[in-house]
Amino acid sequence: MQAYFKWLEPTIADKLNQQPAGAPVFVRMFLQLSPDHGLLRSTLAAALGMSSKWLGAAQVRIEERGGAREGFLTAMAEYAGGQSALVTVEAASGDPTVSILVMGQQGSLKFDDYPEPEVLR
Amino acid sequence: MSIGILLVTGGRTHQEGYGAAFQADPRARLIAVSDEPGVDERRAALNQRLADELRIPYIRDLGEALRRDGIQAASICTEHHRQGRLSIRCAEAGKHLYVDKPLAGSLDEARRLERIVREKKLLTQMFTQVTAAPARKARRLLERGQVGDLRAIHHDLLFAKGFSAGLPLVPRKETAAPAPDQFLVPEAKREMFNIAVYSLALFRWITGRKAFRSVAAHTANYFFDTNKKHGMEDFGAMLVGLDGGITATVAAGRTGWRSHPGSGHHRIRLFGSRGSAIVDAFAGHAEITSDQQSNWRVPPKNPDDPMGFWSSSDQRKTGGPEWWLPAPPAKSDQSHFLDCLEKNREPEVTVPDGVRILEVLFAAYRSAAEKRTVALG
């Protein structure tokens, strides 16, 4: 999974740095990358880390719900400049899926991906 | 059967749409537009304008209007700070209620209204989007068992209207707790209050009225200098807990004309014991590709309605061959209300539902102000 994140984070960041949608202010992300409930926590941490980089600010507040038993983790995060994120990691019941929406002050960026399982090993 | 409807408050509110929908339904008969006798000249002129458009009288004194024969129901769509007290007056007069959302600007008034409608056994419906195609589709997915037992529901409702200003990014200091004292001016609204209400109504409706148990919220000024000037958020995010361990999240706001080529991002995501499903309100989107492809353009600024709040100002994006189509509703929300009056059946989102939703909205402001999860119920 690390290899996928190492590709995903700069791919989105490079596009956002060109400011096609103005300064990014909000990230909505859904990740279904593995059926393993034990990976939810680490995947959420990685996703929140990516959000922080895309928004260009440090996380200052987090509220969470869900857990391994429920099969998902959802976090609402606030960042130092007032930016925010809603990030959800779900145990995958089928092929992996990624859905990202970044709202900028002058537009939005939408990214959907269906990574091959081998990329996530 | 003809159901007499009194419209309480006129133009530059959603009454423009509600009144037209009632008038289009052969079961309804519009009686008049009315309001409080002391409204200011602008409001009186807007009331008169809607009355003229609908070819019905404007009765300036609501008390006088409510004494008229032949009125079975009132459609109440005022500024939020008046919504509660005018709904109470109509309920006390024994009228069934079709009310705009959110229900009121004060929880005390909303709870008093709930007591009256229960005592008088009135049929009530709050306008929401549960009768629109995306919500219906999401509920059918659940009822068919496609995702199994519901564990989480996520709703993005981001209206692509208004001219975003590129504000400096600073954390918003939320001051609307315990309750906002101002909700609407001609160039700004509290957008979490106005838009997240649809999400909360969806959650309550789709879960069979499961109780809200907690809310954590964040409010922001990302887009509009007018909202910032008036201290009103243009964006809100929520993390909500419901009975049965169900989790819900909301991203709600007005995000500027450029944020979407159509009406805005609108998605419902369901997660259950068997998997997940997404309902995109614009999944029926159509696209033309050609060598005439051009970029779409935002409409010119309308000083009378700069944020594109009201349908009568008719502001649309132009210039591109692409278009995005929201699915048409099978029937209007107003027709659903008339169905309920005709069959003496409880509407799907009622005044008591509206009170529970208002409790969450006010708690959300508290959460945003105090930076913590707030327990409910």
Alpha helix (H) residue ranges in chain B? 15-24, 41-54, 62-67, 80-92, 107-119, 133-143, 191-206, 225-229, 333-343, 351-370
Q: Does domain B133-326+360-375 have CATH number 3.30.360.10?
A: yes
CB contact under 8 A, A71 and B371: no
Mean pLDDT of chain A: 95
Partners of residue B366 in chain A, C-beta under 8 Å = none
pLDDT value at residue B326: 58
CB contact under 8 A, B237 and A65: no
pLDDT value at residue B95: 98
**What is the nearest CA distance from B220 to chain A, expressed in angstroms?**
7
pLDDT value at residue B262: 82
Task: Tell me which residue in A80, A94, A103 faces B255 most closely, judged by beta carbons.
Answer: A103
Partners of residue B239 in chain A, C-beta under 8 Å = 63-65, 74-76, 86
Residue to mutate among B156, B161, B199, B222, with most A CBs inside 10 A, is B222
- The residue of chain B nearest to residue A27, with distances taken between CA atoms, is B251
Is the pLDDT assigned to residue B323 strictly greater than 70?
Answer: no
Write the pLDDT tens digit of every residue in B42-74. Answer: 999 999 999 999 999 999 999 999 999 999 999
Is the pLDDT assigned to residue B321 strictly greater than 70?
Answer: no
Write the pLDDT tens digit of every residue in A29-63. Answer: 999 999 999 999 999 999 999 999 999 999 999 99
Query: What residue has token string 């400096």?
Result: B168
pLDDT value at residue A78: 98
**B223–A contact, CB cutoff 8 A:** yes
CB contact under 8 A, B156 and A93: no
Enumerate residues 115 to 144 of chain B having a beta carbon within 8 A of any beta carbon in chain A.
none
pLDDT value at residue A119: 84
Instruction: For chain B, state the CA radius of gyration.
Output: 20
Q: How confident is the model at residue B185 (pLDDT cuts 50, 70, 90)?
A: confident
Residue with the larger pLDDT of the pair B374 and A34: B374
- The residue of chain B nearest to residue A61, with distances taken between CA atoms, is B371
Q: What is the mean pLDDT of residues B163-176?
A: 92
Q: What percent of chain B has pLDDT over 70?
A: 94
CB contact under 8 A, B265 and A22: no
**A78–B contact, CB cutoff 8 A:** yes
Q: What is the mean pLDDT of residues B140-158?
A: 97
**B155–A contact, CB cutoff 8 A:** no
pLDDT value at residue A2: 86
**A74–B contact, CB cutoff 8 A:** yes
Region of poorest pLDDT, from B90-104, B208-222, B277-291 = B277-291
Is the pLDDT assigned to residue B324 strictly greater than 60?
Answer: no
**B60–A contact, CB cutoff 8 A:** no
ipTM: 0.97
Is the pLDDT assigned to residue B165 strictly greater than 60?
Answer: yes
CB contact under 8 A, B251 and A23: no
**What is the nearest CA distance from B143 to chain A, expressed in angstroms?**
19
Contacts of B34-38 with CB under 8 Å at 24 or more apart are B34/B6, B34/B7, B34/B8, B34/B58, B34/B59, B34/B60, B34/B61, B34/B62, B34/B64, B34/B65, B34/B66, B35/B8, B35/B9, B35/B10, B35/B60, B35/B62, B35/B78, B35/B86, B36/B62, B36/B82, B36/B86, B37/B61, B37/B62
Q: What is the mean pLDDT of residues B9-24?
A: 94
CB contact under 8 A, B275 and A94: yes
CB contact under 8 A, A22 and B164: yes
pLDDT value at residue B99: 98
pLDDT value at residue B125: 98
Mean pLDDT of chain B: 92
Is the pLDDT assigned to residue A1 strictly greater than 70?
Answer: yes
**B3-122 and B133-326+360-375 agree in CATH topology:** no
What ranges do the domains of chain B cover? 3-122, 133-326+360-375
Is the pLDDT assigned to residue B102 strictly greater than 60?
Answer: yes
Topology of the domain covering B3-122 = Rossmann fold (3.40.50)
